[in-house]
């Protein structure tokens, strides 16, 4: 297969470049990449002092915070703020094409190695707890997504819950701990094949993702797992792995080839970080790169959706079309006026997809982000300066702050940030709040 090979070579050179870039800025924090680099180091010889690859990128949080001469932490805090600001400025403005309708299957390792106690209380309990938090947060940010659960136990893949858009259904499947008691060896291939099978019918415009929480260092497979990998690449399934023990070659290969993320959890907090990094919707260009030649296939579609009217529980009871039960509350299909119990769903009568519009609107701030505010550096520009923050009416300091050492790039020494559109000034707190939470400029109102 000549084209296949060419593809592989291209991939190779890509990763080389990554490594070169990485060694340039070793001091950077980026955990995932650092792992990559140190892995290579280890491969070359025993030159590195770190005994384990995943320990290489460990930065102590207290090392990054430095007291200033006066012994106060304000400059360090200001510095952190500045770093956040700069990261926002650097963020690509065109990352608009994100897959918003997502389908995710979480594969939980239920093998005996999950009973290890290196993470408190056990790997198993901790992953269940984090999986619950992950599911809640994931549905909060991806309201139109669906999650299914598969377990790896005793050499088999076990379906724990079907694909569902209702977080309660998914959470119920992992609420009973005794049903999930770990046993035997895990089988990556069986579980991935099962997950792949249940995603085969999905429309092309939605994403297909697999997240594996993997605690073992072995896998017992009935066949060649690399064939499974081929099929995942063909089906454009993105596989991400969070390993609890150590890096496995086959896991990394899965993630690299399918465009997913790989990480080894170093401690409880890092485990959670790795999981929660997977919550925001992935940008679509990563997906098309992984898909190679199939990228220009139209993977978008226009869908017809209805926005229902919600009836209160005081309205006269009527039969619902989904369960044929007599109840008062419910949603009315805007096209055929049938009454359904819950949204999002497909109307059983006319087939219209019924969603509540707030579900859709939750993701709009990805599409129309607030422009980054510019830091005002000096007061003498001739123009009139507002006395107080335009948003919260906090008054601005008249003179530059005493700690003039903290004039890092992107920070204003006088604490003013100006919207490029409406030319109003905002204070530091409002700047952060507006960009991270509200996503709407109080001055221009958009």
Partner 1 sequence: MDQPSHISVILDLSPSQWHLSSLPQNPYPLSLKSFLAQVLAFLNLHIASKHENTLAIFGAFPGKSVMLYSSTDPASDSSDSGSPNIYRPFEIVDSRVVTRIEEELESIDDSQEEAPIGLVGALTKALCYINRIKHPTPSTQSNGTTVEDPATLPDPRILILSVSPDLSTSYIPIMNSIFSAQKLKIIIDVCKIYGPDTVFLEQAAHLTGGSYVYLERRDALLQHLVMSHLPSPALRKLMAVPTQDKIDFRAACFCHKNIVDVGFVCSVCLSIFCRPVAVCTTCRTKFPMSTLRRLDAYLPRAAKQANGTAKTSAPPTPTATGLPSTPR
From 151, 215, 260, 308, residue interacting with partner 1 (rule: CB under 8 A)? 308
Residues 277-306 that bind partner 1 (CB under 8 A): 284, 298, 300-306
When the beta carbons of 78 and 126 are compared against partner 1, the nearer one is 78
Side-chain half-sphere exposure of 358, counting CA atoms within 13 A: 4
Stretch that binds partner 1, among 2-10, 126-134, 170-178, 343-351 (CB under 8 A): 343-351
Are 179 and 133 in contact by the 8 Å Cβ rule? The answer is no
CB of 90 to partner 1, least distance (A): 21
**For residues 401 and 172, what is the distance between their CA atoms, to the nearest angstrom?**
53
| Closest distance of CB 276 from partner 1, Å | 16
Between 125 and 346, name the residue whose CB sits nearer to partner 1. 346
Site for partner 1 in 249-278 (CB under 8 A): none
**DSSP type of residue 31:** H
Residue window 166-205: x/- pattern of binding to partner 1, with contact defined by CB under 8 A: -------------------------------------xxx
**Please, which residue, 212 or 320, has the CB nearer to partner 1?**
320
Pick the stretch among 177-185, 248-256, 258-266, 391-399 that binds partner 1 (CB under 8 A): 391-399
Count how many residues are written for the chain.
446
CB of 154 within 8 A of CB of 185? Answer: yes
Least Cα distance to 199 among 106, 97, 99 occurs for 106
Site for partner 1 in 402-431 (CB under 8 A): 415, 427, 429-430
- By CB under 8 A, the residues from 37 to 76 that bind partner 1 are 74
For partner 1, which is the closer residue by CB, 205 or 272? Answer: 205
Count, residues near partner 1 per rule CB under 8 A: 74
User: Does position 391 bind partner 1 by CB under 8 A?
Assistant: yes
Read off the tokens for 298.
Answer: 């139209």
Q: Is the CB of 42 or the CB of 97 nearer to partner 1? A: 97
Minimum distance, C-beta of residue 417 to partner 1, in the bound complex (Å): 13
Q: State yes or no: residue 95 binds partner 1 (CB under 8 A).
A: no
Q: How many CA atoms, within 13 angstroms, populate the side-chain half-sphere of residue 382?
A: 0
218 Cβ contact list (under 8 Å, min separation 6): 185, 186
H/E stretch holding 103 reads strand 102-109
User: Which CB sits closer to partner 1, 175 or 204?
Assistant: 204
Q: Are 151 and 111 in contact (CB under 8 A)?
A: no
**Touching partner 1, residues 224-243 (CB under 8 A):** none
Cα–Cα distance for residue pair 262/84, rounded to 1 Å: 24
Q: Using alpha carbons only, what angle is made at residue 269 by residues 124 and 185, rounded to the nearest 5 degrees?
A: 25
Q: Please identify, using beta-carbon distances, which residue of 17 and 304 lies nearer to partner 1.
A: 304
354-to-75, 125, 346 alpha-carbon distances in Å: 51, 37, 6
For residue 148, the cross-strand partners are 105
Q: Which is nearer to partner 1, 196 or 390 (CB)?
A: 390
DSSP letter (8 states) at residue 438: I
């Amino acid at each position: 297969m000549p084209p296949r090979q060419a593809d592989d070579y291209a991939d190779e050179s890509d990763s080389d470049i990554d490594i070169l870039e990485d060694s340039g800025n070793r001091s950077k924090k980026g955990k995932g990449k650092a792992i990559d680099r140190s892995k290579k180091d280890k491969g070359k010889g025993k030159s590195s002092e770190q005994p384990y690859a995943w320990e290489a990128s460990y930065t102590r949080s207290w090392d990054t915070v430095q007291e200033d001469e006066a012994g106060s932490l304000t400059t360090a805090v200001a510095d952190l703020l500045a770093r956040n600001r700069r990261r926002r400025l650097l963020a690509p403005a065109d990352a608009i094409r994100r897959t918003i309708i997502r389908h995710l299957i979480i594969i939980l390792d239920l093998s005996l190695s999950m009973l290890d106690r290196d993470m408190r209380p056990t790997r198993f309990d901790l992953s269940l707890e984090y999986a619950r938090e992950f599911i809640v947060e994931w549905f909060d940010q991806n309201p139109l997504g669906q999650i299914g659960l598969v377990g790896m136990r005793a050499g088999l893949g076990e379906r724990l819950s079907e694909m569902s858009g209702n977080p309660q259904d998914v959470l119920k499947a992992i609420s009973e701990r005794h049903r999930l008691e770990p046993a035997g060896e895990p089988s990556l291939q069986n579980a991935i094949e099962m997950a792949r099978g249940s995603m085969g019918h999905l429309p092309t415009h939605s994403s297909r993702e697999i997240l594996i929480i993997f605690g073992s260092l072995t896998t017992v497979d009935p066949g060649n797992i690399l064939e499974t990998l081929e099929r995942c690449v063909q089906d454009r399934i993105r596989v991400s792995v969070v390993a609890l023990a150590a890096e496995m070659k086959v896991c990394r290969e899965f993630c690299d080839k399918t465009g997913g993320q790989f990480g080894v959890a170093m401690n409880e907090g890092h485990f959670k970080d790795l999981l929660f990094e997977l919550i925001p919707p992935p940008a679509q260009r990563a997906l098309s790169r992984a898909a190679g030649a199939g990228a220009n296939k139209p993977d978008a579609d226009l869908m017809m959706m209805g926005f229902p009217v919600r009836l209160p529980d005081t309205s006269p009871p009527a039969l619902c079309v989904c369960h044929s039960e007599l109840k008062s509350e419910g949603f009315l299909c805007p096209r055929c006026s049938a009454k359904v119990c819950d949204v999002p769903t497909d109307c059983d009568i006319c087939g219209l997809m019924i969603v509540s519009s707030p579900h859709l609107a939750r993701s709009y701030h990805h599409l129309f982000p607030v422009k980054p505010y510019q830091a005002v550096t000096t007061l003498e520009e001739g123009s009139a300066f507002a006395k107080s923050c335009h948003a919260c009416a906090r008054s601005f300091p008249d003179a530059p702050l005493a700690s003039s050492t903290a004039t890092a790039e992107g920070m204003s020494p006088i604490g003013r940030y100006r919207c490029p559109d409406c030319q109003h000034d905002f204070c530091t707190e409002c700047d952060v709040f507006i960009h991270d939470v509200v996503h709407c400029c109080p001055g221009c109102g958009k």
